Amino acid sequence: MTDFGFKLSKSSAIELDKVDTSLYERLCQAEPGARICMNCGSCGATCTAGPYSGMSLRKVILGLQRGQDVRSMLSGCMLCGKCSMVCPRGINTRHLILTLCRIYD
Amino acid sequence: MIYEGKQKIWKDYQKEIPDDHWYYVRSCIRQNFFPASERKFTDITKDILGKDVYETPYHTTCGGIAYHCDAIPQETAMTIVARQFALMTETGYENYVPSCVTSFGNYIEILETWREFPELEARIREQLWKACRREFNKPKYIAHTSDLIYHWRNVIAEKAAHRLIDKETGEPLRMAEHIGCHYAKMFPSKSIGGAEYPYVLAGMIESWGGQVVDYPERRHCCGYGFRQYHMKANRGYCVSNTHKKFESMEPYGIQAILTNCPGCCYFMDRWQYVIAEQTGKTYGKDGFGIPVFTYEELAGLVLGYDPWDLGLQLHQVAVEPFLDRIGVEYDPKAKYLGLNKEDLLKPELPTNLKCF
């Protein structure tokens, strides 16, 4: 292969017809609040751990909807509950995260 | 009623194009990429269509390439453009036609900025006077050269020696059209068909007998994007965009691509070689690529010009299968003979992309 000093980068496009969303469905059954998230990002904006650990509940939910592995982000959560206080949809975010941890375990 | 309504809406997407007396300015990069295209534009418009198209050797780049690369501020580009307008004013022309899509976008952007901020225009006039003692009138009309070929597409079709039809099957050729971003996406009202339904190239293909094929990433940028290409660290992003387009058009059996932007034509042609070297994949039939043409080259082929006079030997992707398909006669031995039969030397052939 010729080395041009640059190469093709993998496309970040997601084919929604092909992704596996079974994990997201299991989460919604255990914590229906996940379904009403509108991805506003208030949780991520208020997260104390976010700037240091990369944790963002918005990204977690979006990642699950896209069939991505979000395990690494969960370990950054300190369960302080600030996100539940600012969520405009009143989602029980702490329960959501704990449920997801249980599903992964 | 519905038909009339549609016609009324479509009228908003059209523009009136003056039929004659144009002041022509060339692109700074096209001369190096596809050197015969601009020459053929003047040949076609002057010799075949009998139009008054004037150009002066004193014009320069419009500065758009440096402006979009963040190398110069817009005010510098404005002063360069003011000098171009001064040259036009001195020759007495009022209709301005640049050959480059980025120039077209640059001129429109500058005129719109001056309309919004007249004090800025006054400052540029002053700077131009101080720099070179010139004054200018703003053009009455600015069109891109593809607008003019579109405007005269039916006249070209009447004089056609070849049509975009497969001579074996009699079927129209399946062609994709790719509009440069700076043509319709910056100021949609200044283009034919706007940003949503740009028709300038589709109209040419249809008039000359081909079939325009739609595909999901049809309006995606070619990837050039100035900053993306000119900084080597970003070049992978540039080729990835082109790759995305070719992956998207692959299932549709496209036989050729028509473009109206210097960068789009160059990169969609050359990146096919890079993609083939990096992935081993080619997008045309039998290991060939998909040929990418400028509108002057395609008009030239339709009008019966010799493909090597049109500079098609300087394309990375081999054009011979396309020429065979529409029945253009050519001498394979003359491919790498330049002007006055001077030997251009045969280039090294790629590993994966089939070429002659």
User: Hey, are the CB atoms on A8 and B232 less than 8 Å from each other?
Assistant: no
The reported pLDDT for the residue numbered B5 is 84
User: Hey, are the CB atoms on A7 and B236 less than 8 Å from each other?
Assistant: yes
The reported pLDDT for the residue numbered A93 is 96
For chain A, the domains span 19-104
Residues B298-336 as b/e (b if ≥16 CB within 10 A, e otherwise) read bbbbbbebebbebbbbbbbbbbbbbbebbebebeeeebb
CA nearest B242 in A: which residue? A8
For every residue of A30-81, DSSP letters joined together read H-GGGGG-----HHHHH-SSHHHH---HHHHHHHHHTT---HHHHTT-----
In chain B, % helix, strand, coil (3-state, to 5) comes to: 50, 10, 40
CA nearest B232 in A: which residue? A6
Task: Say if A5 is an interface residue toward chain B (CB within 8 Å).
Answer: yes
pLDDT tens, position by position, B17-58: 999 999 999 999 998 888 899 999 999 999 999 999 999 999
pLDDT tens, position by position, B207-234: 999 999 999 999 999 999 898 899 888 9
User: Hey, are the CB atoms on A4 and B279 less than 8 Å from each other?
Assistant: no
User: Hey, are the CB atoms on B274 and A4 less than 8 Å from each other?
Assistant: yes
| SS3 (DSSP) at B355 | coil
Mean pLDDT score of chain A, rounded to an integer?
93
Nearest to B163 by CA among B308, B325, B335: B325
Would you state the torsion angle of the CA atoms of residues A36, A40, A45, A47, taken in this order, to the nearest 10 degrees? 10
The reported pLDDT for the residue numbered A91 is 96
A19-40 mean pLDDT: 95
Q: Which residue has the tokens 């190398």?
A: B71
pLDDT at B1 > cutoff 70: no
The answer to whether the complex's ipTM is over 0.85 is: no
For residue B278, give the H/E element and its range.
helix B262-279
pLDDT tens, position by position, B89-125: 999 999 999 999 999 999 999 999 999 999 999 999 9
Q: Could you tell me how far CA B73 lies from the centroid of its own chain?
A: 25
CA nearest A4 in B: which residue? B274
User: Hey, are the CB atoms on A1 and B232 less than 8 Å from each other?
Assistant: no
Model pTM greater than 0.80? yes
B353 min Cα distance to partner chain A (Å)? 13
A75-102 mean pLDDT: 95
B309 min Cα distance to partner chain A (Å)? 31
| Contacting residues of B for A9, CB less than 8 Å apart | 236-237, 240
Task: Say if A12 is an interface residue toward chain B (CB within 8 Å).
Answer: no
The reported pLDDT for the residue numbered B51 is 97
A7 min Cα distance to partner chain B (Å)? 5
| Contacting residues of A for B275, CB less than 8 Å apart | 8
Q: Which residue has the tokens 């009143």?
A: A90
Mean pLDDT score of chain B, rounded to an integer?
94
Pairing of strands B211-212, B292-294: unpaired
Cβ-contact B198, B179 below 8 angstroms: yes
Task: Say if A17 is an interface residue toward chain B (CB within 8 Å).
Answer: no
B177-200 mean pLDDT: 92
B274 min Cα distance to partner chain A (Å)? 8
pLDDT tens, position by position, B273-320: 999 999 999 999 999 999 999 999 999 999 999 999 999 999 999 999
